[in-house]
Amino acid sequence: MSGTQARPPAAAVPHHVAIVMDGNGRWATRRLLPRVAGHKQGVDSLRRCVQACAARGVGVLTVFAFSSENWNRPADEVSGLMELLVAALGREVPRLAADGVQLHFVGERAGLSPRIAEGLAQAEAATAHNQRLVLNVCFNYGGRWDMAQAAAKVAAQGLPLTELNIDRAMALAHVPDPDLLIRTGGEQRLSNFLLWQGAYSELFFSDRLWPEFDEAALDEAFAAFASRERRFGQTSAQVAAGPAGTPSPGPGVLDSASH
C-alpha cells in the first residue's frame, strides 16, 4: 500500500482512466519464465488496479487486454491468453460483481470462440446493475476496427456520417472519452488503442512493466494528470477565465458548431 498521504485530492482524480497494460512478456522473460506467466501476473496487477481506481473515485477504467494484432503472436501464447481469460472470468467475476464493478468487453466478438463469447456475455449480464466503477476490458479490440464498425453501423441505419453519429455508434459510446491514458512497459505509442476516443486524453508513459504497476505508480500518473492544463484547443488565458469560455471537445459541440 502506498498510504493515503500519497493520494491526490479527489478533484484531481481523472473520471475515465484508460491503460495499455504492456510489459507482461518482458516481466516473465526477465525471470526466465514462460511469457504466459507474465500474463497471469498481469491479471493480478489488473485486480489491484481496479480496486485502487475504485478507492480513488475513478468512474471508468478501460484496459487494453488483447489487440486485433495480438493474433499474430505464437499460437501457444494466443491459446494461453484465451485460457487465462476463461479462468479469470470464473475466478474474478463474482468478486467484481460484489465490489460494484460493471463489466463490459469491448472488441470484435465474431473472432472469438463461442465458449469465450458466451463467457463474456454472462460476465456482463452478472454485473450490469453495478454502479461503482465501469470496467471496460478491450479484448480483440483495435481502434481502427472500432471506427470501421461504427461507420458501417451508421451507414446501415441510413444516417449521415457525422461525428456525433459515429461517436454514438462507437464501442465505447456508454462512457465519456478517457481523461488520462496510461501506457506501461516503456513504449510510447498507442498500438491501435482508442484512436477516436483518445483525441484529448492526457498521455502518461510509465517505464514500469504492467505486473509491477502498483498503487504508487498509479498515484504518480494521477499526480501528473493533476498538473496538466487541458486546453481543448483554447488558449491558457481562456481556460483561466473559467467554464463559460471552455467548450468540451465532445461531438455535440462539434456537430452543432459550424467550422
Asked if 22 touches Mg ion (CB under 5 A), the answer is yes
**Three cell numbers, residue 43:** 491479471
Asked if 83 touches ligand IPE (CB under 6 A), the answer is no
Name the residue nearer to Mg ion (CB basis): 22 or 167: 22
Asked if 64 touches ligand IPE (CB under 6 A), the answer is yes
Spatial distance between the Cα atoms of 28 and 81, rounded to a whole number of angstroms: 14
Grid cell 484496459 — which residue? 63
CA 92 and chain centroid, separation: 18
Q: Is 22 a catalytic residue?
A: yes
Name the residue nearer to ligand IPE (CB basis): 207 or 255: 207
For 238-259, letters b (16+ CB in 10 Å) and e give eeeeeeeeeeeeebeeeeeeee
When CB distances to ligand IPE are compared, the closest residue is 25
Residue 246 near which of Mg ion, ligand IPE, none (CB within 5-8 Å, type-dependent): none
Asked if 22 touches ligand IPE (CB under 6 A), the answer is yes
Asked if 26 touches ligand IPE (CB under 6 A), the answer is yes
CB 46 within 8 A of CB 40: no
Which are the contacts of 228, defined by CB distance < 8 A and separation ≥ 6? Answer: 202
The least distance separating ligand IPE from the CB of residue 134, rounded to whole angstroms, comes to: 19
The least distance separating ligand IPE from the CB of residue 139, rounded to whole angstroms, comes to: 8
User: ∠ CA 127-194-229 to the nearest 5 degrees?
Assistant: 105
From the candidates 70, 99, 130, 214, give the one annotated as an active-site residue: 70
Asked if 219 touches Mg ion (CB under 5 A), the answer is no
β-bridge mates for residue 102, sequence order: 134
Name the residue nearer to ligand IPE (CB basis): 64 or 222: 64
Asked if 80 touches ligand IPE (CB under 6 A), the answer is no
Spatial distance between the Cα atoms of 184 and 203, rounded to a whole number of angstroms: 11
Size of the site for Mg ion (CB under 5 A): 1
Which are the contacts of 109, defined by CB distance < 8 A and separation ≥ 6? Answer: 117, 120, 140
Residue 67 near which of Mg ion, ligand IPE, none (CB within 5-8 Å, type-dependent): ligand IPE
Instruction: Outline where DSSP puts E strands in 71-141.
Output: 101-106, 133-141
The least distance separating ligand IPE from the CB of residue 23, rounded to whole angstroms, comes to: 4
Residue in 18, 21, 133, 169 binding ligand IPE, rule: CB under 6 A:
21
Size of the site for ligand IPE (CB under 6 A): 17
Counting Cα atoms < 13 Å in the Cβ hemisphere of 178 gives: 26
Spatial distance between the Cα atoms of 203 and 189, rounded to a whole number of angstroms: 10
Name the residue nearer to ligand IPE (CB basis): 42 or 59: 42
Residues of this chain, 172-201, that bind ligand IPE according to CB under 6 A: 185, 187, 189, 191
- Using CB under 6 A, list all residues that contact ligand IPE: 20-26, 64-67, 70, 81, 185, 187, 189, 191
Known catalytic residues are 22, 70
